[in-house]
Structure formats: structure tokens, C-alpha cells
Amino acid sequence: MKFDLLIKNGIIVSEKSLYKGSIYVKDGKIEVITSAELSDEAIEIVNAEGKYIFPGFIDTHVHSRDPGATYKEDFYHSTQAAAAGGVTTIFEMPNTNPPINNVANLQRQIKNLESKAFVNFGIWAICLGKLNLEELTSLHQSGVIGFKFFWGYAVHSQTFQLMYNYHPEMKDVIPPFSDGEVFEMFQEVAKTGQVFAIHAENSDLIQYLTQKVSVDPNRKTYLDLLEGRPNLAEELTIQAGISMAKKTGARLHVLHVSTAEGIQHIRQAQKEGYPITAETCPHYLFLSAEDYEEIGPKMKVYPPVKFKKDQEELWNALRDGTISLVCSDHAPHTEEEKEGDLWSIPAGMCGVESLVPLMINAVNEEKISIFDLRRLLSEGPAKLFGLESKGEIKIGADADITIVDMDKKSIIKSQNLHSKSKVTAFDGFNIKGMPVQTIVGGKIVMKNGEIIGKPSGSFVTPN
Ligand SMILES: [Zn+2]
């Protein structure tokens, strides 16, 4: 048999060990893993001598804004950015316009994304309380990757778009859902057995405190912003979410955890045996409020980046397994939008392309091990979301592979990003260790930072 692809003599990263081997790929699947030389040649041969072979990295939290605010980003650009950054699968967030709130919109979205996908993709469904409670079962049956609830956000009454910085006097707005309605969503999603992911910030507290602080025109510093959106806001919602998950059996997943307090509650619930998981993002791991003076408004995200002490606790939680994955929360805005008043500029920045380089660099800095990297970016997300043919280099698995040069040095530069908008707080960061090839379904889509080939990613669903 002639193989499609041979990745020769790389160092394969498995759960607890490294071993030298060659991987033979046929029809998008891993067919053979061996240290022997097979007589049958392959159409394409990659010499991976000295490089590390990871099961393709997965970014579970991406906002490509497609369809919707495509002047900021679209799927054609975000998936090239993903491939350039060593990511083979992304999960697209559902707060598009229209949102992914029913099966018709999901099916349109699959078609829309398929034609532009340089990497594989899963799609989240959005929970909108009573507005789509009855759609959740059919969304589950149609292959969504999980359910996302933007807890505490108001939605536009016609378009169902999220309303940021909600205030009761806003027009055409459905206010944040009541606790009763939230509880009902937990119950419904629990029936599907899929992940229920929450944005955890208490809206009442934020509204009240933000109003109090921002009324003073002189209060515009980062610490003022944090006074309006404090650690307590995250803690309160995480506690409420854990309590509702305990009652309903929902598989609660806490998105982008940013506080030490949040981690403590999640760790405690896990100790009690509840299926509660969490993620965090590079901005919470590599930035803190103390960096604001140097970096400025580019680092505004929701939930906001907190303090050094929170950052330390997040690293502990990565190492001890409390956090099961790291993702980017890629959420681009244009440069113009990110300049100006800290209160009014939008939250979010690019991330899908810098996620893997930053985390490889963390291995070289001995913040985490190479096995932690594999767990947090490949196996962890694949297992949590039921992608059985991903997250591991094994016979029969999808040939989604990221090849890493642990010694290659690079500098993250905004202008070099593949996204449409290029704002990142990591501009100028020095990196040691880079993804050098991204292989999606047996096809090489990135080589030394360059995108090659055509969009050929496919829609992934949980098993
Ligand atoms: Zn997000």
C-alpha cells in the first residue's frame, strides 16, 4: 500500500512518555506508527528529526464573527490564523448574527463555515432561556459541540444579539434571564448530556458597581474598571452555577476562569465528585492588572484580567488538573475600536494564532511540562467534548497533527497575524518553541508559518 503521508523520525508525545517513531497516514487517518522503515513509500514525506509530534491542538473558544461583524474577522481568516498557530480544530462560538439558536441556523452555519475552513471546526449552540428552550434537544441531535450560556447578558429582542454594558433603560432589550429561567436551562441541557458552558460574571453586581465608579469622569484607570467588575462578580456566578449543576446533573464547564476564588470553588466541587470543568486563556496566564500601564487598552477582555495572585493560582490549577484545557477566546476588534475610553471600548482581542506558541514557551520556561501541554491543548479538550478520534496519536485516529520545534525562536507581532483585525496584547512577546507544521486530516496546511493548500477542514461532532 502506498501511503499519502509519512512523518519520519519525530519524537511522539504520548500521555506520559516520549518515543521516537514514524507515522504513516492514509485517507486522513493514522495507519501505522513504527520505528521500523516500511518498504512502501508515501506520496509526501516530512522529515521530523528532532521535532516533537503532538496530536493536533484544539482551540475550543473562538469568535470568528462569521456571519455578523465580518469587518472585524471571518472564518476564512480565523482558520488560517489557527493553522498558522498550530491549531487543527477550533470550536466556533454561537453569538453570531444570526446566532446558533436553532437547527436551521446551525445547518446554514455548517455550510457557511465549511467553504472557508482551513482547519476542522465544531459549533457551539447558544442558550437563550425560554426563547429557545425547546430547540436544545434537536440542536444536540444535530451535532453541536456543546451549549453556551452568556450568563448575565441581555439580548436584543429582535436579533437576539448580546447587549454589552446592559442598562435597564436600553431599548429593544430582553434583560438578563432570571435565576428561575437559568435553572430551567441547566435542567434542559442536563438531559442532553452535553457540556453546559457559562460566561460567569454576576450582572447585578457589575451594573451596580460600574455605575457607581464610572459616574466620576476622572475614574478611568484599569483599577477603576476592576472595581466595577471585581473578582466577586466571577465568584458569585461560579458558585450559583455549581449549585445548579449539583441539583440538575448538568456537566457545567466554566469558561475563561480569571480568579483565584473561582478556582477554589471549582476545585472543591471536583473533590466532591461533580463533573465540573474549567478553562482559562493565555491573557489570564501571561498578563495581570500590574501590566496595564505597559500594555494598555489592548488587554481589555471580559472577564477582565485580574491580579498577579490570581495568575499564580491559575498556573497551579493548570498543573494540578483543576483546569482541563487552555483556549484562546479569540475575539478580534479593529484597531480603531480598541482605542479610546477604557469604559466604552469593546472587550476582546486576537488569540487563536498565539495560543500554542505562548503555551510552548511556558513549557520551555518550566511553568508546565510537555505532557501538560499535550493534555491541556489536545487530549483534554478532545475527551471533554467527546472527540474520540482526536487528541491522541494512535492507529485509526484522525491525522490531525502539530509538529513543534521546541528550540525555534520567534517574536509575536500584530502585523504578522493572519486575522482580519490584528490587535493583540502579546505584540512583541518573545517566544521559544514554535509549531512548524500543521496537518489537518492528513493534509499539510501550514509549513514554517506559511499557509499552504486550500480550505479542507471539516465539521466535527461529538461521538
Ligand atoms: Zn468568548
CA of 149 to the centre of ligand 1 (A): 11
What confidence category does residue 445 fall into, taking pLDDT thresholds of 50, 70 and 90? very high
What pLDDT score was predicted for residue 353?
98
Q: Are residues 41 and 64 in the same domain?
A: no
What pLDDT score was predicted for residue 173?
94
CA of 72 to the centre of ligand 1 (A): 15
CA of 355 to the centre of ligand 1 (A): 14
Q: Are residues 178 and 321 in the same domain?
A: yes
DSSP string, 279-345: EE-HHHHH--GGGHHHHGGGG--SSPP--HHHHHHHHHHHHHTSS-EE---B----TTTTSS-TTTS
Q: Are residues 209 and 243 in the same domain?
A: yes
- At 353-383, the pLDDT tens digits run 999 999 999 999 999 999 999 999 999 999 9
Q: Are residues 352 and 241 in the same domain?
A: yes
Q: Are residues 293 and 364 in the same domain?
A: yes
Q: How many residues does the chain have?
A: 463
What confidence category does residue 167 fall into, taking pLDDT thresholds of 50, 70 and 90? confident
- At 168-212, the pLDDT tens digits run 889 999 999 999 999 999 999 999 999 999 999 999 999 999 999
Indicate which CATH number applies to the domain containing 158.
3.20.20.140
CA of 362 to the centre of ligand 1 (A): 23
Residue 438 falls inside a structural domain: no
Indicate which CATH number applies to the domain containing 26.
2.30.40.10
Structural domains counted in the chain: 2
Strand partners, 325: 279
386: closest CA among 102, 60, 114?
Answer: 60
What is the pLDDT averaged over residues 122-142? 97
CA of 13 to the centre of ligand 1 (A): 29
Cell digits of residue 406: 521546541
- pLDDT of residue 38 exceeding 90, the answer is no
Residue 267 falls inside a structural domain: yes
Q: Are residues 273 and 311 in the same domain?
A: yes
CA of 303 to the centre of ligand 1 (A): 9
What confidence category does residue 280 fall into, taking pLDDT thresholds of 50, 70 and 90? very high
What pLDDT score was predicted for residue 411?
98
What is the residue-averaged pLDDT of the chain?
97
Percentage of residues in the chain with pLDDT exceeding 90? 95
What pLDDT score was predicted for residue 230?
98
Q: Are residues 11 and 100 in the same domain?
A: no
- pLDDT of residue 92 exceeding 90, the answer is yes
CA of 5 to the centre of ligand 1 (A): 36
CA of 436 to the centre of ligand 1 (A): 27
What confidence category does residue 1 fall into, taking pLDDT thresholds of 50, 70 and 90? confident
CA of 453 to the centre of ligand 1 (A): 29
Residue 461 falls inside a structural domain: no
Report the alpha-carbon distance of residue 115 to residue 56 in Å, rounded: 21
Residue 235 falls inside a structural domain: yes
Estimate the crossing angle of helix 203-214 against helix 231-248, to 10 degrees. 170
CA of 329 to the centre of ligand 1 (A): 5
Q: Are residues 121 and 181 in the same domain?
A: yes
Residue 458 falls inside a structural domain: no
Q: Are residues 61 and 21 in the same domain?
A: no
Q: Are residues 93 and 185 in the same domain?
A: yes
- pLDDT of residue 322 exceeding 90, the answer is yes
Report the alpha-carbon distance of residue 33 to residue 222 in Å, rounded: 52
- The model carries a pTM of 0.98
CA of 32 to the centre of ligand 1 (A): 38
CA of 150 to the centre of ligand 1 (A): 9
Q: Are residues 121 and 17 in the same domain?
A: no
- At 384-429, the pLDDT tens digits run 999 999 999 999 999 999 999 999 999 999 999 999 999 999 999 9
Residue 70 falls inside a structural domain: yes
CA of 252 to the centre of ligand 1 (A): 16
Boundary-marking domain end, from 399, 418, 437: 418
Q: Are residues 28 and 145 in the same domain?
A: no
Residue 135 falls inside a structural domain: yes
Q: Which three-class secondary structure state does DSSP give residue 126?
A: strand
What is the pLDDT averaged over residues 81-96? 98
Residue-range definition of the domain harbouring residue 295: 57-387+409-418
Residue 122 falls inside a structural domain: yes
